[in-house]
Amino acid sequence: MTEILLLCSANQCRSVLAESLLRRRLGEAGVSASVRSAGVLHDGGPPAPEVISALAAYGLDVTAHRGCTLSESDLARSDLVLAMAREHLRYAVVALPSAWPRAFTLKELTRRGQQIGPRPAGESLAGWLRRAHHGRHRSALLGDCADDDVADPSGGPPQAYTVTAEQLDQLLARLVQLAWGRLSATWPGRLPVSGRPSRRPARWRTRPGRPAARRLACRGPGE
């Protein structure tokens, strides 16, 4: 079974939204996969009430979720690692350099997937990810970039969480179509027009503290 790992800062907001929405999208497509999430900060708390409310609108219940701190073994066992922002991807690649070819930000993989086209029947997910990885450079791990980062709604108004959930759901729908759509008889045959929400999310105030890997130089993951 395919193992997919979603990453954010404290595993209380963006990765919780993405985990639940991705599991729902894969289920609708008839894809069997294990979807988990983790954070790069030591927290372990429940999701924000706004996250619970945003997912309830999709019929999803995450009240029992508790934040999980990322471990090297989490990365090692995952076939695909999807980070919510470059800082989380950077942390993962520093923690386990061999994860680099199968670790992307969600926005990056969706963008690269559109460039290389949907995965054809007969190609493994690993093979499709290798093609998506081709031409990446380690310099892209540095800094922050709106093209790669899903803005953190933490500290913003409730509407910010709703907008983030909408953005994530649209991006995940496109990714599932690209990576699994042609392999599923239950999935419609047309890509969504855009992964952007109708309302552009603002850069809401982020949680205090940043992952330690942000202060480290990447130690040479292979390309």
Average pLDDT over residues 64-91: 96
How far from chain centre, in Å, is Cα 142?
18
Stronger pLDDT, 206 or 86, i.e. the higher one: 86
Q: Does residue 39 surpass a pLDDT of 70?
A: yes
Q: What is the pLDDT of residue 143?
A: 83
Average pLDDT over residues 9-15: 96
The separation between CA 90 and the C-alpha centre of its own chain, rounded to angstroms, equals 13
Rounded (10°) angle between helices 158-180 and 49-56: 50
What confidence score (pLDDT) does residue 140 get?
Answer: 83
**Mean pLDDT on 138-151:** 88
> Could you state, in order of their start, the residue ranges of all structural domains in the chain?
2-215
Q: What is the DSSP letter of 79?
A: S
Three-class SS of 126-180: HHHHHHHHCCCCHHHHCCCCCCCCCCCCCCCCHHHHHHHHHHHHHHHHHHHHHHH
Say how far residue 54 (Cα) sits from the centre of its chain: 17
Domain 2-215 has CATH 3.40.220.10: no
Average pLDDT over residues 40-46: 84
Q: What is the mean pLDDT of residues 164-188?
A: 84
pLDDT of residue 183: 57
| Mean pLDDT in residue range 49-72 | 97
Query: Which tokens is 134 given?
Result: 């081709």
Main-chain dihedrals φ then ψ at residue 172, nearest 5 degrees: -65, -35
Residues 6+ apart with CB under 8 A from 7: 15, 37, 38, 39, 40, 70, 81, 82, 83, 84, 88, 89, 91, 92
Q: How far apart are the first and last CA of the chain?
A: 25
Task: Determine how many CB atoms are found less than 10 A away from the CB of residue 207.
Answer: 16
Cβ atoms 70, 7 nearer than 8 A: yes
**Is the per-residue pLDDT at 202 higher than 60?**
no
Which residues 6+ apart lie within 8 Å of 113 measured at CB? 128, 132, 174, 175, 178, 179
